[in-house]
Amino acid sequence: MGLLTPDFGLFFWTLIAFLLVLFVLGKFAWKPILNSLSEREDSITKSLATAEQARKEMASLKSENETLLQKAREERSLMLKEAKDNAEKLISDATAKAKSEYERIVADAQAAISQQKQAALTDVKNQVGNLVIEVAEKVLRKQLSNKGEQEALIKDLVDNVKLN
Amino acid sequence: MASKSLKLLWALSFSVILTLFSMQGRAAEPAADSAAAPAVEAGAEPAHEAGKLDISHEIFSHIQDAHDWHLFSINENPVTIPLPVIIYSPTNGLSVFMSSKFEHGHEAYNGYQLNSEGKVEALDGSKIYDISLTKNVVAMFLAVILIFIIFLNVSKKYQKNGASKAPSGLQNAVEACVVFIRDEVAVPNLGKDYKRFMPLILTIFFFIWIANMLGLIPGGANLTGNIAVTCCLAIIAFVVMLFTSKKHFWGHLFNPPGMPTAVKFILVPIELISLIIKPIALMIRLFANMLAGHIVIACFVLLIFIFANLNVWIGGGFSVISVGLSVFSMLIELLVTAIQAYIFANLTAIFIGQMIEDHSHHAGEEGFDHTDTERELSL
């Protein structure tokens, strides 16, 4: 059968054509194509790895942030509490101080008042004494300006004086 | 720019083919209508009975190699493109002339003539080496040029754009195939050593695929359905297998471990035969598949003329069915072109993989071999 016997000519040309294609493509096509394919795959793998790492870093950063935030929150509440305590203490201190001051002032005032009162009373007593003496002097002067009266008085006085 | 010129090329080739096809139809139509005139297509041997189609001749003239590219016939006059005949004869030396000198087998020239099978032979019967640029050789050169255009352009694009840019256009299509061959054929079968064989396997795959597809074009040559082509490819694959084979493989072949000596005497010849059968399987598989596809399509088309010989109206009516059937088988063939190219590449990779297997596979040797042969059988 003609179909099953290979022709020498066609075999010969196929050999040449195939080896030519193999050589030319191997040198000018497959090498650059395969190289850039593997290069691209490498870069994709690398990018993926980088992305994964970035994602992990991101996650760790996030958790770090979270803990920081938590800490900050705690600190804030602590600070608030402290501030509140301080304020309360301040207020109570101030109140106590004011109270004691007030008491001191009141006591001082009372002491001053009583002192003044004493002084005033002494003054009044002295003035009343002086007035009484003056009045008595005047009265006496007037009554003893004549002789009869002087004698009456003496007599009165003498009457009154009971010699024991 | 490259894709634009390629599109132009496609458009041009398709329009040429369509024109040829319609002319072929018109040329054949009168023959069918008159029913008296034989629809002679190949001019090599126009001696049939009047009114009868020589179906096998028709089909075989389509699938066989020829010294001229037959386009169509007008009233029994074949219109062909003559191709150069190159003959080396140990006695007469080299002679080169156009095949038109033979007048389609009617004339002898320069001491040579075409025999009834369309082959060149010396008038004195001496031994000659025919390395003519036959139809298949020219078709193969076209395929080679097409391959160069496609892959050198794509390669240029890779070099221009670098690895970081996404592929586009033809580059995208080629890249998908290249990645497929690398990841599905080379890496699983050849292991870590696959890079060495990538050029060979890629070249085999694309060479066969493109040659297959060119053969599908009406008027194209049945290149991969010719046993000389598949034989050559198989021998190249076989030579690569032998040259890359490792000591481990031969050791297992001639001294299968763990076998009684008596069994070895049976086993070694079987192993040797299986080694020889590998390239033969490669050769026959591609050849038979492509040949069968071409024959089926040709048969479907010729059914029109068989029926038209009985009755013009039946022929006309059947042409609808026939065209439908041939479109269907054409689509299947389109699939088969890729599948056969893939199988050839895959089997080559498997065979080479068996040859370069290292001691590391030693434990799973039997299982490995077994799955491989199974895989081979399923293909």
Q: How far is B315 from chain A (nearest CA, A)?
A: 30
Q: B331 near B293, Cβ under 8 Å?
A: no
Cα–Cα distance between A83 and A86 in angstroms, integer?
5
Q: B199 near B310, Cβ under 8 Å?
A: no
- Going by pLDDT thresholds of 50, 70 and 90, the confidence category of residue B61 is confident
Cα–Cα distance between B72 and B365 in angstroms, integer?
57
Per-residue model confidence (pLDDT) at position B370 = 46
Q: How far is A6 from chain B (nearest CA, A)?
A: 4
User: How many residues make up chain B in this entry?
Assistant: 379
Instruction: Please check the confidence at residue B360 and state whether its pLDDT lies above 80.
Output: no
Per-residue model confidence (pLDDT) at position B368 = 46
Interface mutation vs chain A, best among B56, B95, B137, most A CBs within 10 Å: B137
CA of A31: which chain B residue's CA is closest?
B199
As a whole number, mean pLDDT of residues B237-251 equals 88
Q: Residue B337, exposed/middle/buried by CB under 10 A (0-12, 13-18, 19+)?
A: buried
Per-residue model confidence (pLDDT) at position B14 = 55
**Weakest mean pLDDT among A74-83, B11-20, B169-178, B359-368:** B359-368
Q: How far is A55 from chain B (nearest CA, A)?
A: 23
Q: Provide the number of CB pairs (under 8 Å) joining chain A to chain B.
A: 125
Q: B210 near B143, Cβ under 8 Å?
A: yes
**From residue A156, how far is each of A133, A135, A159 by CA, in Å?**
20, 20, 5
Nearest to B57 by CA among B298, B300, B230, B316: B298
Number of neighbouring beta carbons within 10 Å of residue B93: 8
- Any B CB within 8 A of A30 CB: yes
Sign (positive or negative) of CA dihedral B168, B171, B173, B176:
negative
Q: B212 near B344, Cβ under 8 Å?
A: no
Look at B203 and A12 and tell me if their CB atoms are within 8 Å. Answer: no
Q: How far is A50 from chain B (nearest CA, A)?
A: 16
Cα–Cα distance between B243 and B351 in angstroms, integer?
12
Distance in angstroms between the alpha carbons of the first and the last residue of chain B: 40
Q: B346 near B204, Cβ under 8 Å?
A: no
As a whole number, mean pLDDT of residues B143-159 equals 92
The predicted-structure confidence for B100-150, as pLDDT tens digits, reads as follows 888 777 788 878 888 877 788 888 878 888 888 888 999 999 999 999 999
CA of A9: which chain B residue's CA is closest?
B131
- Going by pLDDT thresholds of 50, 70 and 90, the confidence category of residue B48 is very low
Number of neighbouring beta carbons within 10 Å of residue B22: 11
User: How many residues make up chain A in this entry?
Assistant: 164
Query: Token digits for B332?
Result: 């299947």
Sign (positive or negative) of CA dihedral A105, A108, A112, A118:
positive
- Amino acid identity, position B19: T
ipTM above 0.90, yes or no: no
- Amino acid identity, position A158: V
Q: What is the mean pLDDT of chain B?
A: 79
Buried b (16+ CB within 10 A) or exposed e, B35-74: beebbbbbbbbbeeeeeebbeebbbbbbbbbbbbbbbbbe
- Going by pLDDT thresholds of 50, 70 and 90, the confidence category of residue B21 is very low
Q: How far is B57 from chain A (nearest CA, A)?
A: 13
Q: Is B69 helix (H, G, I), strand (E, B) or coil?
A: strand
As a whole number, mean pLDDT of residues B183-188 equals 91
Per-residue model confidence (pLDDT) at position A72 = 95
* Matching residue, tokens 């077994």: B370
What proportion of chain B, given as a percentage, has pLDDT over 70? 80
The pTM of this model reads: 0.70
Alpha carbon of residue B306 to chain centroid: 28
Cα–Cα distance between B16 and B336 in angstroms, integer?
25
| Chain B residues in contact with A8 (beta carbon < 8 A) | 129-131, 228
What proportion of chain B, given as a percentage, has pLDDT over 90? 28
The predicted-structure confidence for B273-307, as pLDDT tens digits, reads as follows 999 999 999 999 999 999 998 888 888 888 888 88
Per-residue model confidence (pLDDT) at position B364 = 43
Which one has a higher pLDDT value, B45 or B203?
Answer: B203
Look at A5 and B158 and tell me if their CB atoms are within 8 Å. Answer: no
Distance in angstroms between the alpha carbons of the first and the last residue of chain A: 200
| Chain B residues in contact with A22 (beta carbon < 8 A) | 199-200, 203
Nearest to B244 by CA among B201, B205, B202: B201
Point out the residues of chain A with pLDDT beneath 50: 1
**From residue B224, how far is each of B201, B289, B354 by CA, in Å?**
17, 9, 26
Cα–Cα distance between B267 and B374 in angstroms, integer?
19
Q: A11 near B228, Cβ under 8 Å?
A: yes
- Sheet architecture: strand order including B93-98: B93-98, B84-89, B129-130
| Chain B residues in contact with A28 (beta carbon < 8 A) | 152, 155
| Chain A residues in contact with B195 (beta carbon < 8 A) | 34
Q: B223 near B229, Cβ under 8 Å?
A: yes
The predicted-structure confidence for B193-243, as pLDDT tens digits, reads as follows 888 899 999 999 999 999 999 988 887 888 898 899 999 999 999 999 999
Number of neighbouring beta carbons within 10 Å of residue B264: 14
Q: Is B255 helix (H, G, I), strand (E, B) or coil?
A: coil
- Any B CB within 8 A of A102 CB: no
The predicted-structure confidence for B64-110, as pLDDT tens digits, reads as follows 888 888 877 777 777 888 888 888 888 878 888 888 888 777 788 87
- Any B CB within 8 A of A1 CB: no
Query: Token digits for B241?
Result: 């297998």
Instruction: Please check the confidence at residue B39 and state whether its pLDDT lies above 50.
Output: no
- Going by pLDDT thresholds of 50, 70 and 90, the confidence category of residue B16 is low
Choose the closest CB to A43 out of B129, B164, B227.
B164
Look at B141 and A3 and tell me if their CB atoms are within 8 Å. Answer: no
What are the residue ranges spanned by the domains of chain A?
A: 32-127
Cα–Cα distance between B43 and A46 in angstroms, integer?
64
